[in-house]
Chains A and B, each alone.
Chain A
Amino acid sequence: MKSEDVPTVFIVDDDRLVRQSIQDLVQSVGLQAESFGTGQEFLKRKRGDGPGCLVLDIRLPHVSGLDFQRQLADAGVQIPIIFITGHGDIPMTVKAMKSGAVEFLTKPFRDQDLLDAIQQALQRDRATREQQIEVDNLRKRYGTLTPRERDVMALVVSGMLNKQIASELGASEVTVKIHRGRMMEKMQVGSVAELVRMADKLQLPRIK
């Protein structure tokens, strides 16, 4: 495993002792951990490629945890968030869960609960990342297609036969066959069913 692949846990809490102790706990189970006093400091940090998760105090001064969650989404930063909340913050908790928080822990929490939540979040991040890598690959392949090949691909995915495609595109059946063969080769697929799954992952528009 490369160092970037080592999972990293980020902690944002304005209370120095609290964030240091959480960092220490995380490190004691062999995970990498970094802590920040404010969300801005975290944003400035360049993240590596490895999986990660964010432990966030829901009551941050200036910018609250919920606002920060929104800021991350707006900035396109995808990272699972574990919220730490006090008593009586139920409305906030609900909002956080709706916004896609992985877990929320009420102070004082059991250390194992936090660690479990972290593991779960990392797992999710890892899966998300793998998916992301696959999509990225497909995109790359898709990017090599010529406009004609993309048209052919779209029509193949929609379930048309070569003849139908040729009439649709106003080309000869032979020409369509050549485009189709090159397209299948570039996309590295052997069957139409496989191509349909790829198109789904790429979220290409379906043509009826």
Chain B
Amino acid sequence: MNSSGKDKRESVAHRSFGTPRLMYLQGYGLAVFLVSAALGMSFLLERFHFRDVADPLFLIAIAITVWYAGIGPAILAVVLSGLADAYFFIEPRYSLYITRHDLAHFVIFILFASLLTGFAAVRRHIEDRKRSEEALRLSEAYLAEAERLSHIGTWAWNPVTGKNLYWSEEQFRIWGFDPQQGPPDIETGFQRIHPEDRNRVREEISQQRETSQTDFANDFRIVLPDGTVKYIHAVSHAVLDKTGGVIEYLGASVDVTERKRAEQELAGRLRQQAIVAELGQYALATPHLQVIMEKAVYLLADSLDVEYTKVLELLPDGRALRLRAGVDGKEGVVGSATVGADTNSQAGYTLLSAGPVIVEDLRREARFTGPPLLRDHGVVSGMSVIIGGGEQPWGVLGAHTNRRRDFTKDDIQFLQAVANIIAHGIQRERAEVERERLRQLEAELAHINRVSMMGELTASLAHEIRQPILAAITSADACLRWLTRNPPDLERARLAVARIKEAGSLTDDVISRLRSFYKKGTPPERAIVDVNEVIREMIVLLRNEAGHYSVSVRPELADGIPKVMADRVQLQQVFMNLMLNAIEAMKGTGGALTIKSQLKDDGQLLILVTDTGVGLPAENKDRIFDAFYTTKPQGSGMGLAITRSIVEAHGGRLWASANDGPGATFHFTLHAEAEAHA
């Protein structure tokens, strides 16, 4: 430590205060110039009859030289002045010879000049040193300030004596030692290192010393007496003598705690964001709220590094909260429990305060009384947020730990984000329940519609079933007669039995078709359906009813049209409704009911149900599709509304138009199944 350091300090001093010190040659040049100038001036003044001005002028030149150029050039100036004086001015002039008479004068001049030089040099030296010291003092102050600002402490250590030679102020501050006591010994320093890091650092240092390296770095934590933990990045350098032996170690301790904290905080925030994203995606993919909640409490406990997390649902009476999901650090998922929704619990308090609640220390909490559940588990710190649920809060999400912990704003935001995901899941579940309820209601309504249609058709349907039964009975009679003939005609008897069988299965067909139509089809089942086949079936069921009112049914079904993906019973219902409506419209007059199926250019099926009846109401043509709109005395007004909702549920459209002639036409479309051609 050493010349280079000193140089640095001096250069600093000069830059700020010093008269610029001339280089050596310039200094001597100045001496020659000034002496020459004094000589010239002496001759000049002599012309104007000044006497004995040379000596003072030479002294002035010497004085200026000594001030600006230092002692060396000043001596030159003294010598030159002496020579010039002896040669030019002391009698005999223009000779170096000096008379005895003038010797005293000359000696006194030289002595005076030398004194002046010496005095000026001493004075100058003192001033220089004062400046240097000031500069050094300031420089050290700056260094200390810089160390404080950058949290860098410096030190020097002698490995031979094992003593710390030097500790900077910041070094004391970082390590928490009293500067008054001087640098601590090396073992005391080691004791400050975090127990988990201490042995590692010892090992690292001893390994580093064995190698021939001269620069080292170590990272470790230190624990101050008050429990504060600091992260230290230490660098050191070995100073060697000429033989390569280590004279001393120089080093610096950098307090990187803040940076470490920031890094950890950032990493934590990123991890929390990742978890929020993961949980959010999971919640979107899973319809089961319970699964979402369980995953949330698990992820929360893991990422916040807390022992307890829980989801509490506010019960309908608003007086208690029920544990829906939770994690207990020791026992895994906890069982069922309830807490009061008042100030007897943090959850209750959270609901009352309508915002996030952070508890630094439950044992000192005054806002609410720690519930036994938390106290029994030795919970110290925790936080809780509200899980929203529309107008009313749905419940509370909490995280607690047995350690004293300051939860950050980020932690609270993270907790709230998770709570929001759960809230979203709750809303989705509620919407699903509501949709399911509507679906059931619709299915029930559709069933009622079918039942009432069947009621209207009872007579016709009875006929439809009775016909084949009559055929069977009559055939059986015929069969008996063929058998009792003499001789029995077995062939004719066989034919009659075959007809009985045919009639029997026909009856069965009709009944099962009716039953499938009649049954409560709660979950609609989509399957590939041949629309023409459904139309034919419905014509069979309705032909009697149609005949009864002198309505002829005319199917005009396009061949080879594609099948559709549909619920068969619902599709039957659509035809049943439209055909019954058409028959109804022709009750008084009779007429023709045409059912046409065709494939449109855009690949959709178009079905037209045309009657020649009374036609659509002149006003409010579209109201016929409204619920409860009816023109029939016994009508529920639900038929067309249900029909339209069924068609739309199948992705189609239903509309009505007036015919050119009498009557109306109902049109509806259905999506054809692309590949499944009939």
Chain A contacts to B: CB under 8 angstroms: 15, 17-18, 20-22, 24-25, 27-29, 59-62, 64, 86, 88, 107-108, 111
Contact = CB atoms under 8 A, between A and B. Distances in A.
Nearest to A63: B550
B678 to A, nearest CB: 26
Given A86-B466, A108-B473, A24 B547 contact: no
Given A25-B477, A59-B547, A17 B492 contact: no
Contact of A18 (B470, B495, B547, B552): B470
Contact of A22 (B472, B474, B492, B544): B474
26 contacts: A15-B467, A17-B467, A17-B468, A17-B471, A17-B475, A17-B503, A18-B470, A18-B471, A20-B471, A20-B499, A21-B470, A21-B472, A24-B475, A24-B492, A25-B477, A25-B478, A28-B481, A28-B485, A28-B489, A59-B544, A59-B547, A62-B552, A64-B550, A107-B470, A108-B473, A111-B481
A117 to B, nearest CB: 14
Interface residues of B, number: 32
B132 to A, nearest CB: 131
B495 A24 contact: yes
B589 to A, nearest CB: 15
A117 B523 CA distance: 54
B459 interface: yes
Given A59-B548, A108-B474, 14 more contacts: A17-B467, A17-B468, A17-B471, A18-B474, A20-B471, A20-B475, A21-B472, A21-B499, A21-B503, A24-B474, A27-B492, A28-B481, A60-B547, A61-B543
A24 B483 CA distance: 13
A59 B551 CA distance: 12
A107 B506 CA distance: 18
Interface in B531-553: 543-544, 546-548, 550, 552
A118 to B, nearest CB: 13
Q: Which 4 A-B pairs have the closest CB atoms?
A: A111-B477, A17-B471, A28-B481, A21-B474
B482 interface: yes
A18 B496 CA distance: 12
A28 B482 contact: yes
A90 B162 CA distance: 131
Contacts of A20: 471, 475, 499
A126 B79 CA distance: 186
A60 B466 CA distance: 16
Contact of A61 (B466, B469, B552): B552
Nearest to B468: A17
Contacts of A59: 544, 547-548
Interface of B: 459, 463, 466-475, 477-478, 481-482, 485, 489, 492, 495-496, 499, 502-503, 506, 543-544, 546-548, 550, 552
Contacts of A21: 470-472, 474-475, 478, 496, 499, 503
Is chain B's binding surface mostly helix, strand, loop or mixed? Answer: helix
Contacts of A107: 466, 470
Contacts of B552: 61-62
Nearest to B544: A59
A108 B478 contact: no
A64 to B, nearest CB: 7
A48 to B, nearest CB: 23
A28 B478 CA distance: 6
Nearest to A89: B548
B471 A15 contact: yes
Contacts of A24: 474-475, 478, 492, 495-496, 499
A60 B552 CA distance: 11
Nearest to B475: A21
A18 B507 CA distance: 13
Nearest to A57: B467
A161 B25 CA distance: 200
A25 B503 CA distance: 16
Contacts of A22: 474
A62 B503 CA distance: 24
Nearest to A17: B471
Nearest to B467: A15
B470 A108 contact: yes
Contacts of A62: 552
A18 B477 contact: no
A25 B474 contact: yes
A71 to B, nearest CB: 15
Nearest to A112: B477
Nearest to A60: B547
Nearest to B459: A88
Contacts of B475: 17, 20-21, 24-25
Contacts of B492: 24, 27-28
Nearest to A67: B550
Contacts of B478: 21, 24-25, 27-28, 111
A62 B554 CA distance: 11
